[in-house]
Structure 1
Amino acid sequence: MSVNGRLEVGDVAPAFTLPDSHGRPVSLADYAGRKVIVYFYPAAMTPGCTKEACDFQDNLTELNGQGIDVIGISPDKQAKLAKFVERDELTFPLLSDPDKEVLTAWGAFGEKKLYGKLVQGVIRSTFLVNEDGTLGAALYNVRATGHVAKLRRDLSL
């Protein structure tokens, strides 16, 4: 982990177990031996987060075909995630981290600029966790629109 609390390529991905939109526990350990994209987003059902989630959904078949799963994590409560999953027909797990412990451990919560002001909040971030649990990518302050295409291009996915 870097001095600023952010994870870097090669770091071991911090373990987590969080409830999904149905209240079922999902652990990073459930994906051992597989690649998984873990992405952090500020709030379900907002325009940017909806674009990002739908972008992952639209590319999910191809990502899964390459042996890559997708998990989204936000501070939203399980009930809001359930509405998000239903409304946008999302088929990958969205996990609830209302205490922001996992967000913080991954460097995805902290100081960020919002409309020119420094605020505390979720830092839109995406990670590729390799089969061995190390990070193959650690991207912070990503853009919601066009993110998956950029990710696939940059990582040759």
Structure 2
Amino acid sequence: MSSEDDLARLKSGLADVERENADRMSLIDRRVARSMEESKENGDKLRKETSLVVASLAERNQRARAAGGWATESSLADKVEDDGDFGFEEDEEENQRRAGYKTADPLDVPLPVAQRQVPPPPPVVPPEPARSPGRHRPRGQQDEEDDYANTDWLEA
């Protein structure tokens, strides 16, 4: 074997290694691009869900403020159309118009001090009474009745 044959074999081996390296790098690049695309999609999806939740919470807080600061189930629930409309409201408005009554605009009337949002005081928890550590009553605490269980009646 000549040195030229050895050199050709080494060059061929190096070319194989370079080709394998290039294939691995292209595979890594494809994986990186796919994972970047997935993370972008997941981020967009998370952003949309977060914005929906934030909008829902803002609407809920607005309902609580409109209810005078009371966050009750009825004030925070989704509004449902009133199915109990029997037409009496139109008659009442017409009667008030004829009588000369004017309805007040709720935005012009200042809120009384009692309706402003004040945090409730923390609940007071009464302390629990001290308990004896054992399962049975201590010997010092006896019932009003006498205990004759250990009395030998034949010796008396």
Q: Greater relative contact order: 1 or 2 (C-alpha under 8 angstroms, separation 6 or more)?
A: 1
> Could you say which structure has the higher helix fraction?
2
TM-score by length of 2: 0.19
The TM-score with structure 1 as length reference comes to 0.19
* Greater Cα radius of gyration, structure 1 or 2: 2
Higher strand share: 1
